[in-house]
Chains A and B, each alone.
Chain A
């Protein structure tokens, strides 16, 4: 059974740096074609993809947020870490991680973690 779980602070102050950890089980990020992505959802709004890290350590970022994001992995711990700098109240959202198989017919997100709500406020 594949599971993912996000962890990190529930509250951060403006200008601070956010560090989120995705801990997963049931698959390995050393397997060819396997990736993990981060997606966020502001309250009452749509989904927004943030970043992806691949089994071969290739990294991909949202064009609009790439200067603020860093994604990394620790395969020995089955963890993926997302760092977002210079947090703003507009970054208040539920942050999800999801397994992302990279296939010849596309990339999708399945399954997702339960999500973690991050509020940015002073």
Chain B
């Protein structure tokens, strides 16, 4: 079983729509959670960290559900520039390595 699993998508949405997707993680000892964004043939870049109480950063909202071991990302009022692959990333408390999901592809159309 993969450590981090994501729905690969693609999610095709019109501009202005809301899109949300989850990822699940298998290691109950995971303590740190992140969403990274990766544009086509580019390097991953940190989008936001995910905190236990959930957090917002502009149009992006991240939630963590420890009991069910999943993380979600919601994008409101989506823009064309939001088109990318979103990588779910977790790290265990005693481990410096990051475990990446394979990514969820979002395409925002005009």
* B and A form one assembly: no
